[in-house]
Structures are given as structure tokens and as C-alpha cells.
Amino acid sequence: MATHGISPELIGRDAELAALLSAAEATRSGSSTVLLAGEAGVGKTRLLSAFTDTLPKPHRVLLGHCVELSSQGLAYAPITAMLRQVISDIGVPKLTTLLGENSVSELAHILPELGESPRNSNSETAHARFFQTVLTLIERLAQQEPVVLVCEDAHWADASSRDLLGFLIRSLRTSPVLIVISYRSDELHRTHPLRAMLAELTRLDQVTSVNVPRLARAEVAEQLQGILGQFPDLTVLDMVFSRSEGIPLFVEALAEAGEDCLPRSLSDHVTLRVEQLGEDTQQMLRVAAAGGIRVGHPLLRAVTETSDIALEESLRPAIRANLLIADSRGYTFRHALIREAIHDDLLPAEYARLHKRYAEVIDADQRLVPPGRAAIEIAQHWYAADDRTWAMISAWEAAEVAERALAYSEALQLCERVLELWDNAPEAVERLNIDHVNVLERAAAAARISGRHERGLKFIKSALSELDEATEPERVALLLKELAYFQGVTGRPGSLETLRRAEKLASEPTAARAKVLEAFATYLFLTGIDVAEGRRHSTEAARLVKETGQTELATDVAISAAMITNLEGRLTAGREALKQIYEHAIRDDQPRVALRTLVNLTDMLNSLGESREALRLIDDGIASARRQGRYSDFGRMLELNRVEALSALGRWDEASTAIDEALTNESTNYRRGLLLTQRAHIALGRGEIDNARRAIDGVHRALSGPDLKMQEYVPSALLPILLSLGQEQGLQAYEQAQATLAEPALPLHTYHAWPLLLAAKAACAAAEPQQDTTSLRAKIAEMAASLQSQPDEPDPMSRAYLHMLDDEYEKAAELWKAGERPFMRATALLAGARLAAERSDRDGVIRQLRVAHHIAQQLGAVPLVIQAEGLARRTGVSLGPETSHMAAGSSSSGLTPREAEVLRLVAQGRTNKEIASELFISTKTASVHVSNILAKLGVTSRGEAAAHFRASS
């Protein structure tokens, strides 16, 4: 793996940052202390550096590290470092002015560079004077600007440093000083000297404790993305998450090391700790490690054939050393990597012997492991025991168990194991009586469902290489159908040719041909390559299905037929068909088909302006996808439709949160592209040009396959035009629009094209009068006419687009209102008001502009607000009393509307966390807004900002 080592972005940590920032804020009324706890490598140092970087106003940050006593034995190590930093910051002369000559020499006790330390006093008073001098120095520094003292790694603090820190914490009463003490919680054994100190400190009012937890899976995904420069493959993510258990340091080491080896430094770290235990205990730990990260007491007893008491006795030291955690039922290694290091330490023969023993013991009494786990555990142990025959037999059986339990990722792993063992376990092959292609097919199916597309592709390709299409044409055709699917989702070329080959091979009128035709039809209409040919295949598939009596396939065929109906422009009819299919699928208890229908139906509902109804169905659908183990494919499609619904409904904050969440676990390019598309639309709507540009770059990276589907093609062409418009680069927008609409190969004959036509029209308006736009306008009109030449009455959203193109903005606005699309409605009304102004229709301006402005404000659609306010000024129309606030706030102080909103909440005394939850943003974003506000207002605290707000409103 190519890596950049560490993630440049800080992952997560919103709550911890907020706690630190609020402790810093609290020093306005006197010193405060934060005790920062966390395991080794969990990210204490990283958090602290992010914290000192985000402090909203200047602070003097003094940093001192404690060093491991055994190596250095330095008294006052962290304090010395802090004082040296002061000297280098302000210089000795200034230090002398601050403290006076005599006191400076007190510091010479630990800083020889300051000269002779006073010698003639007894050591006790010298000690007291030294403490007092440090205190005075910090107080005087704090009179100039607030001070943050960071003492890192206090589990290694020497006694003198501990004493001095304790003294400072108690004595620094009113000064604006924040002391942060970080320590490794996992190093504090029962008699550790820091323990007593922490216990005392926590009783003080000004002391708070902050714990830095491990990262969640989605956060590990983000960290890996930062390290690798791209979203990790799900297999890598699974591996890294399960082995690191969310410790960022281990995530980095594993990203670096790749799949198979434990990074050296980590295993040394653990081995050292284990070697300090008695031989008995070490041996028992090794046996336990062979059992897995967690092993039940009865299982361990059965494997070792010892008594309860002997077992407990030998493990107790390991529990005390914090390597193992015991509960009433068994033992868990405190960290996966601890278990792994111990396990790796087993000698090869011992290793095989132990695993064999585990396999046999569990096989003899399956109740020794949790229900449903026996098959899989046995398979793991036979594999580790290197008994190939049994490893393979048990893996194949376990794969079946996993499939039945809907554990597709596990099933995939087990199938891979069978493939791996295949050549070396002839006896097993014979006993199982399966063929190799069969295993590959099964592995590919599990890979498809669990979203492991790259691997799916590999399996299908090898399966194809082993079959002869002359003897097994149908089997090959079905594999080709799968190949086309994997080619599509992994962004590889060739799906169309693959499907054509499959269709030719499956020439007999069978269920297999129906399946191939169904997939082919879906492909043809989704890409828009040939809707008519898609219709033909779908009709033939429907007939075959009837003849061969395949009910489940019949529903799939019906779904494709309904989708083609939509693409022919008959959206209402298509939706009705899908609704019926959905009801039947539920009635006939076909949960997979019901889900597939729902994915398409909710997409249709969004296109029809029925997003609220879509949202209602999506929640049920996601729950059902989870129940069926189909979250990775159908569930994620539904999440995407949810984002689109929220975005259309103008619920942008909720949509943004949903986008962030979905992206952290999404490695499929086309879904990433569509999620980023929504992010770009929201950013454009809000006038956040930089965010929009970043999102659009992401869209183009993700959606650049050889055969884009229409729903992917349109955004990748539409967004750059909108971006140019947002930057008021009319001519550029015009050129982009012209180039896009002139592209002959583009599938622009379906309802997906409406927004593109509208953007092209806006680009024409923006380019005039420098540019003669007659021909592009004619082209737009021609395409619009072809889009509405359908037999059915156009659906309301298509009618709304048509009205927009025909300058009938009030009619359009009514339809957008009914379809609950506030952004489109505000856009229509603003355009309507502009037109009314050109026609000197003052009533028309007032009627439309006020509503447009109001909606735009509610949405936070800054560009629309600004345009509305500009038009109001030019036409002398008042926007009403409640609406002038945002303009006043933003023009007088340069705050954006969003910042004005945050400021209002700050003035109400809300914390960043409360602001974040009110505005549906992250705490980190809230804190960034607050610091920007402070900077723009030229104030240094929230209190002053609040005063500013009250004075100006």
C-alpha cells in the first residue's frame, strides 16, 4: 500500500475538542485544569495539537513532556522544557524585568544557563522559593495573554514535577491559565504514583477530566482515507479496524505494514510486558490467545484440562497487568494486537497442536462457543492447525452456515479459504463433491452482496476461464451477466459487449435467457444507450418468465419494465406500476424483490416531487435491508435516495449530515459520486463556492467511467455549468453548456436532462448581451419539445421545468410548491420577479420577490438572498421588517448569514455543542464559525461577541 503515513485531517474528536475549548474559555474567570486520559496511541498528543491550533485568540502555549524515568531520570523534565520555551520566546532581559534579578536566579536550580543558583539557603526554603518563582512567572505571563501549560505523558512524571504541577493547580487562582495534563490510562496500575494525585485533583472544582476514546469504524475509515489518499477498500478497512480496534496509532502501523505481518515495534511492546509474568501465566496466555480475542472460561478449561481454580490462579497476574479482562463468563484480551503478539510467539508445533485441540473440543461440545458460531470457529481452528482436509471441509460447511445467517462477508472469506486450499486438499474435494467453478460462483455472489466488487470481478473472471462456452453456454451466459455487473460498478469498460455476448449464448428460451435479458434491458435503459432495445428485451424476458413459471424473476422483469416506462417519460405510469409490484412483493413475501422495487420507487418519488413519501418508505426499507443482510447494496442505495429527498425538500443540514455519514463507508464510485453531487448542489445553493468546487472535483474523480448512466452523466455535466454561474462567469457557463448539449453521444432524451436544460438557459441569460445565444436557445427549445412528446400528460415536475423554460415562473412556482422543492420555488419566484420588473409590473415584483426572499433566507441560500435584496434595492421594493436583519448583519460586520445565525446563538449563551446540534453541523464546524466571528468582529471572547450582537440589533 502506498501511504502518506498519517492522516492530515484530524478525525472525529469534536466532543473532546469542545471540552478543551470550553476549559480554555473558562479561564476567563480563573485558572482551570484538564486531565486528559487515553490509551497509548489513541491520539492524546494529536488532539492537543489540534486544540492549541484552534484556540480562538492568542495564547501562550508552553509544552513539556515527561520522559520515561528509567531512561532519563530527569527531575522536572516537563517544567524545564516549559521554562526554556519562555526564555527563548521572551529572552532573559525580559524575564528579568518580569521577575526581578533574585527570582531569576531561583530558576537556575533547573536551568543552569541562567547562572549560579543561590546556595546559601537551606534546601527546604529554596524548594519553596523555587515553586513560588515558577508560580509568579506564570501569573505575570498570564497578565499579558492567557497561558496554556501542557504537560504530556504524566504517567512518566517524576515526583518533583508532580509536586510542582499539583502546587500550580492549587495556587493559580484567578489567572487565566489552563493546565492540561495528559497520561496513558492503560499504564496506571493500581499502585502507580500518579493515581493518588489524580484522585485528589479530580475533587477540585476547577479540574475536569476528558477521556479520549478509540475511534469508531467510520472514523477509522476516514483516517485510512487520509493516510491512503483515497477511500480504503472495504476489505482493508475491515482488516485494519478489527486489528487496530480503533487505536489511530495502530491504524497507521497497519496501513503501513499491509495485510499479513504485525508491525515490529508493536509486538515488541507487548512481548516485553508478557515476559515480566510467571512462566505458568505466560503459557496459559498463549493457550488463551489461540482461542481468539475472547475465550470462554469453560472452553479454556476443557482445552487445558485444568481445574477452575488452577485456571484462575494462572491467569490472575495477566489480568492485574492489564493484558486480559475477566468477566463472569470468560476472558478478553484488552486489545486485539496484544492477543496477536502473544499468538505469534507460539512455536509452530505448539501452534498447530493447540488449534487442533480447540477444533476437536468445540466439535465435541458445540455449547462451548456462542450459539451459531461453532461451524465458523471449527473452520478457523482447522485452518490454523494446518490440517488441510479438515480445514477445507469445515470451511465449506461454515460458508453455508454463514450464508444462511446472512453473514455474507464471512461467507465470502470462507469461500476464499476453500479456493486457497483447493489444490492441496484432494481428499476434501472428493468428499465434498463440488466443482471449482461452483465455489467461485458462490464467492462472487457473496462478494456482490457484501459490496466487495473488485473481488467479485476476479472470481467471475476465473470462473469464466475454466468453462467452455460450447458445452455450457447458459452457465457462461449467466457468469457474463455477473461480469457485466462488476465491470459497471468498478468503473471498467466493456459491460455492453459482455451483455451482448451473454445474450447470444443464452439463445434457448429458458429461465437463464430471461435472466440475461432482464439484466441487459436494465443496463440499456440505465445508460440510456437504447431505450427501445431495452424495451424489446424486457418484453421477451416477461414472456419467457411466464412460460417458465419463475415468480421471483417475474418481479425483477416487471421492475425493469416499469423503469423503462419512466425513461420513456411516463413517470406517473411507471410509479403506479412500481407501487403495485411493491405491494405484491410484500404480500408474496419476497423481501429481496421488495427492496429492489423500493430503491427504484423511492427514486421515482423523488423525481415526481413526492420526496416526503419517499422518506417514509426509505426508513422501512433500510430496516428491512439490515434484516436481510443487504445493507451494503440495497441499504446504501436507499441512503442515497434519502439524501436526494432531503436535499430536494430543502432540508440541507440533515442532508449534509447524511452525506457525511454515507461517505465514510462508501467505496463504490458511482454512489460516492452521487453523494458528492448532492453535496455540491447544497454548497452551490448556499454560495459556498470553495466547498462546491471541492465536491465537484470529487464527483469527476468518482464518475469517470466508460459508460456512465444517465443519472450519473447529467450531474457530471451540469455541475460545472452551475459553478461557473455561481462565480458569475457567464461566458464560461455558456461555453460549457453549448459543448455539453452539442455532444451527440449523450443520453439526454429522458427526464434526467431537465435540470441541464434549465442551467443551459441560465447560462444563455448570463452570457448575453456579449454573446449571441440564439442557436443554443433554439437547441434547448428543441430538446425540451422532444422531452415532452410522450403519450401521457407530463408529470408535475416535468411541467414545472417546462414552465421555467417558457418564462412562466409563477406557474412553475406553484408546482414547485406542491412538490415541496423550496429552492426551485425560490429560484422560480426570483426569476419571475425579475421578469415582472422588466415589464414594470410592480405588483408582480412585490408578490414574488418577498416570498422568494423569505424562502431563500430560511434555506440559507445566500446567493438567492443577495440577488433578491439587490433586486429589491433596484426596484425600491421593501422586503418587510423581519427580512432586513440578515442583510444588515452581514453588510455591517462582514458576517455570512450562517455566521450571523451562529452569533445569535452565541449571544444566547449557547455552547459550541449546543449550537452544533441546533444547526445540524459538527461541533468542530461550530467552533470554526465562532473563531471566524470573533476575528471578523475584532473581539476576543464570546462575551464580547454577544455584547456586539446586542448593540447592533
Ligand X SMILES: Nc1ncnc2c1ncn2[C@@H]1O[C@H](COP(=O)(O)OP(=O)(O)OP(=O)(O)O)[C@@H](O)[C@H]1O
Q: Is 11 in the site for ligand X (CB under 6 A)?
A: yes
In DSSP terms, 209 is beta-bridged to: 35
Q: Are the C-beta atoms of residues 43 and 13 closer than 8 Å to each other? A: yes
Using CA atoms, how far apart are residues 491 and 527, in angstroms rounded to an integer? 13
Judged by beta carbon, residue 12 or residue 673, the one nearer ligand X is: 12
Looking up cell 427504484, which residue turns up? 600
Q: Is 228 in the site for ligand X (CB under 6 A)?
A: no
Using CA atoms, how far apart are residues 708 and 752, in angstroms rounded to an integer? 13
Q: Is 45 in the site for ligand X (CB under 6 A)?
A: yes
Neighbours of 489 (CB within 10 A): 21
Judged by beta carbon, residue 535 or residue 913, the one nearer ligand X is: 913
In the list ligand X, Mg ion, none, the entry touching 267 (Cβ below 5 to 8 angstroms by class) is none
Judged by beta carbon, residue 44 or residue 854, the one nearer Mg ion is: 44
Spatial neighbors of 255 by CB under 8 A, at least 6 apart, are 1, 3, 224, 227, 228, 240
Name the minimum Å distance from CB 227 to ligand X: 8
Judged by beta carbon, residue 44 or residue 515, the one nearer ligand X is: 44
In the list ligand X, Mg ion, none, the entry touching 336 (Cβ below 5 to 8 angstroms by class) is none
Instruction: Candidates 9-17, 615-623, 634-642, 754-762: pick the segment binding ligand X (CB under 6 A).
Output: 9-17
Using CA atoms, how far apart are residues 485 and 448, in angstroms rounded to an integer? 9
Spatial neighbors of 849 by CB under 8 A, at least 6 apart, are 829, 830, 833, 868, 871, 872, 875, 877, 879
Ranges of beta strands (E only) in 648-799 are none
Q: Are the C-beta atoms of residues 381 and 393 closer than 8 Å to each other? A: no
Q: Is 184 in the site for ligand X (CB under 6 A)?
A: yes
Q: Are the C-beta atoms of residues 485 and 518 closer than 8 Å to each other? A: no
Interacting positions 102-161 with ligand X (CB under 6 A): 153
Judged by beta carbon, residue 161 or residue 206, the one nearer ligand X is: 161
Cis? peptide before 193, omega within 30° of 0? no
Using CA atoms, how far apart are residues 128 and 437, in angstroms rounded to an integer? 81
In the list Mg ion, ligand X, none, the entry touching 249 (Cβ below 5 to 8 angstroms by class) is ligand X
In the list Mg ion, ligand X, none, the entry touching 715 (Cβ below 5 to 8 angstroms by class) is none
Q: Are the C-beta atoms of residues 562 and 538 closer than 8 Å to each other? A: no
Judged by beta carbon, residue 248 or residue 451, the one nearer ligand X is: 248
Residue of the chain from 1, 15, 26, 40 that contacts ligand X (CB under 6 A): 40
Using CA atoms, how far apart are residues 363 and 374, in angstroms rounded to an integer? 7
Name the minimum Å distance from CB 251 to ligand X: 7
Name the minimum Å distance from CB 20 to ligand X: 13
C-alpha cell belonging to residue 953: 440589533
Q: Is 798 in the site for Mg ion (CB under 5 A)?
A: no
Q: Are the C-beta atoms of residues 865 and 828 closer than 8 Å to each other? A: no
Reduced to 3 states, what is the DSSP secondary structure of residue 322?
A: coil
Judged by beta carbon, residue 252 or residue 387, the one nearer Mg ion is: 252
C-alpha cell belonging to residue 349: 508445533
Interacting positions 31-90 with Mg ion (CB under 5 A): 44-45
Interacting positions 641-700 with Mg ion (CB under 5 A): none
Q: Is 794 in the site for ligand X (CB under 6 A)?
A: no
Number of residues that bind ligand X (CB under 6 A): 20
Neighbours of 493 (CB within 10 A): 12
In the list ligand X, Mg ion, none, the entry touching 41 (Cβ below 5 to 8 angstroms by class) is ligand X
Interacting positions 230-269 with ligand X (CB under 6 A): 248-249, 252
In the list ligand X, Mg ion, none, the entry touching 252 (Cβ below 5 to 8 angstroms by class) is ligand X
Please tell me the number of Cα atoms within 13 Å of 134 on its side-chain side: 29
Using CA atoms, how far apart are residues 60 and 147, in angstroms rounded to an integer? 5
Name the minimum Å distance from CB 258 to ligand X: 18
Q: Are the C-beta atoms of residues 830 and 852 closer than 8 Å to each other? A: yes
Judged by beta carbon, residue 246 or residue 569, the one nearer ligand X is: 246
In the list ligand X, Mg ion, none, the entry touching 223 (Cβ below 5 to 8 angstroms by class) is ligand X
Q: Is 13 in the site for ligand X (CB under 6 A)?
A: yes
Instruction: Candidates 2-10, 78-86, 854-862, 866-874: pick the segment binding ligand X (CB under 6 A).
Output: 2-10
Are β-strands 32-38 and 177-184 bridged in parallel, bridged antiparallel, or unpaired?
A: parallel
Phi and psi at 183, nearest 5°, equal: -155, 155
Using CA atoms, how far apart are residues 306 and 309, in angstroms rounded to an integer? 8
Interacting positions 849-888 with Mg ion (CB under 5 A): none
In the list ligand X, Mg ion, none, the entry touching 825 (Cβ below 5 to 8 angstroms by class) is none
Interacting positions 20-39 with ligand X (CB under 6 A): 38
In the list ligand X, Mg ion, none, the entry touching 451 (Cβ below 5 to 8 angstroms by class) is none
Q: Are the C-beta atoms of residues 649 and 612 closer than 8 Å to each other? A: yes
Residue of the chain from 21, 23, 35, 42 that contacts ligand X (CB under 6 A): 42
Using CA atoms, how far apart are residues 519 and 481, in angstroms rounded to an integer? 7
Judged by beta carbon, residue 13 or residue 924, the one nearer ligand X is: 13
Question: Which residues of this chain interact with ligand X, rule CB under 6 A?
Answer: 6-7, 10-13, 38, 40-46, 153, 184, 223, 248-249, 252
Question: Which residues of this chain interact with Mg ion, rule CB under 5 A?
Answer: 44-45
